[in-house]
Amino acid sequence: MTFETEFAREPVAPAPRARSIFRRRTTRVIPGLPLTLGYTLFYLSALVLLPLAALALKAAQMSPAEFIRVISDPVVTASLRLTFFASTTAALINAVFGLIVAWVLVRYDFPFRRLFDAIIDFPFALPTAVAGLTFASLFLKDGWLGGLGPRVVAGVNALAGWLGAGPLLNPTALDWLTFPYTGQTAGIVIVLVFVGLPFVVRTVQPVLLEWDPEYETAARSLGASPLTVFRRVIFPEILPAWVSGVALSFARAVGEYGSVIFIAANIPGKSQIAPLQIVTRLDDFQYAQAAAIGVVLLAISLLVLLVINGLESFSRRHERAAV
């Protein structure tokens, strides 16, 4: 079954390329490229690079040996470990649930959808200290959820007493209802999930909104199961946005301070996050030490973000190369 037809040469659209600043013949959308470029570089330098350099400079006031001593202090390493463990866990939880939330908000119509959609931005707007206080009053031992077991027991027994019976429940009978992680790592993870959720939702949502369902129909017409459609057609499309959302959520969690200190027990070496260590050092006027911890925090964050981005571009290449 062969036949040949001579097809005319049609122009193929060239892939868009980043414009070199040295080639200036293309039309300009924003006039005065050198000006805007210069402004951008100045702005980035003044607001981001300069403070970071100052931070590094401050840390560099210490001798290398002293620097090592500060950052290898068990209290500091414990706080760094806690920060990165809690942030990673929170980012992973947000990765899954943020994606689901974005999906549901875009794909389904339900009562008060727009209200829920607006609520997603709350963690952005709410001062994180307020969020921390709220979570603490809910989840700590004497909070509504934190002390749920004893509260229910007291309630049931009071009702029984009112009805004329003796105490029905042993005071510890419902302790399993008590939120078991008060003041521990789980509490920190919960606030970090709260703080980081909008990043994932708000990065994935626009991509899903723009998504043309025709691709799904095409995949289904080729016999693909819903799972295959998601895995091979939809997911690759939202992957870059999703990854950057997760990375943002992670980065936000690493730097989070206000909400965490209200829910964590803040015991040095046990439940103290790295930013709190920095604040503690500052309170002691140990500026260089604080800067040293800050530098380590930054370096690890940078590394993690680089790895995440690397993984993303690797997976893209891999998907493309898979023949």
Alpha carbons 139 and 145: distance in angstroms, whole number: 5
> Which residue lies nearer to other proteins by CB, 65 or 322?
322
If one asks whether residue 15 binds other proteins (CB under 8 A), the answer comes out as: yes
- For the CB of residue 7, give the shortest distance to other proteins in the complex, in Å: 6
Alpha carbons 85 and 82: distance in angstroms, whole number: 5
Q: Residue 290 contacts by C-beta under 8 Å, 6 or more apart in sequence?
A: 278, 279, 281, 282
If one asks whether residue 18 binds other proteins (CB under 8 A), the answer comes out as: no
> Which residue lies nearer to other proteins by CB, 69 or 316?
316
- Asked whether 212 and 106 are in contact (CB, 8 A), the reply is no
Alpha carbons 211 and 203: distance in angstroms, whole number: 13
If one asks whether residue 75 binds other proteins (CB under 8 A), the answer comes out as: no
> Which residue lies nearer to other proteins by CB, 18 or 163?
18
If one asks whether residue 109 binds other proteins (CB under 8 A), the answer comes out as: no
Alpha carbons 252 and 264: distance in angstroms, whole number: 17
From candidates 31, 111, 166, 223, binder to other proteins by CB under 8 A: 223
From candidates 218, 282, 303, 306, binder to other proteins by CB under 8 A: 218
From candidates 32, 51, 127, 236, binder to other proteins by CB under 8 A: 236
Alpha carbons 107 and 103: distance in angstroms, whole number: 6
Q: Residue 3 contacts by C-beta under 8 Å, 6 or more apart in sequence?
A: none
- Asked whether 241 and 206 are in contact (CB, 8 A), the reply is yes
If one asks whether residue 114 binds other proteins (CB under 8 A), the answer comes out as: no
* Total site size for other proteins, rule CB under 8 A: 34
| Binding footprint of other proteins on the chain (CB under 8 A) | 1-5, 7-8, 10-13, 15, 212, 214-215, 217-225, 228, 232-233, 236-237, 316, 319-320, 322-323
